[in-house]
Amino acid sequence: MRLKLVIFDVDGTLVDSQGLILAAMRAAFAEEGLQAPTRESILGIVGLSLDVAVFKLVPDLEQTQRARLVDGYKQSYMQLRAAQGAAQSSPFYPGAFDALTRLRAREDVLLGVATGKSRRGLDKLIAGHGLEGYFVTTQVADDHPSKPHPSMIETAMLETGATAAETVMIGDTSFDMEMAAAAGVTGIAVKWGYHPAKRLGAAQAMLDDFGALDGALEQIWGLQP
């Protein structure tokens, strides 16, 4: 039996961390005496590696000040997460945990993660939500070029032995869908995340909620419940 690989983005897909992200970014800009970008602009760069995200927000800013913004964001994010707890500051979207649990129980499916988070950030989230042992491959920003470069997906396939035809990428941003296309795998977009549906044109399937995931995988691979 050939195993299928289901790779998930994290922020905006499995968990809603927008409050934490917005607060940390606004604090970082305030520390530098700068006006923070709009909510839409900040959420629009979620999923990118942090240095790439900050560059997209303020491309004309001097490099050393951008570096301070990156560090300021990291510090604010960690402080806010510590104060609130990972599960409270980044709660699951409705149905996310149940969907992960259903897929984990299958003998024909492996689960993975491809996220713009750091290793430390992902580990904290996994521990906070009790997801230890759920994912057989976890790809983070520390080890790869920023999305939409296909490195994360390619490494996940290499680690699990899955082919492109046996792999799907589930995410909420255009970066996730472009990464999936670059890796030659099926991209499944979710409609509840940080990019509007009009930006998800590269997706080969779209989900209104996690209850639709099983049916989408059945249609792609013929997997039976």
> What is 179-225 written as a DSSP string?
HHHHHT-EEEEETTSSS-GGG-TT-SEEESSGGGHHHHHHHHH----
167 contacts 135 by C-beta, under 8 angstroms: no
Looking at the chain, which runs of residues are DSSP E strands?
4-8, 109-114, 137-139, 167-171, 186-190, 205-207
φ/ψ region of 184 (left if φ > 0, alpha if ψ in -120 to 50, else beta) reads left
For the chain, give percent helix, strand, coil, nearest 5: 50, 15, 35
Q: Based on C-alpha coordinates, what's the Rg of the chain?
A: 17
Q: From the candidates 9, 16, 172, 176, which is the catalytic residue?
A: 9
Signed CA dihedral, 190, 151, 138, 46: sign only: negative
Q: What is the phi/psi pair of residue 171, to 5°?
A: -155, 175
Name the token pair of 133: 């042992």
**7, 168 Cβ separation under 8 angstroms:** yes
Catalytic annotation present for 142: no
State yes or no: is 9 an active-site residue: yes
**C-beta atoms surrounding 17 within 10 Å:** 23
The catalytic residues are 9, 11
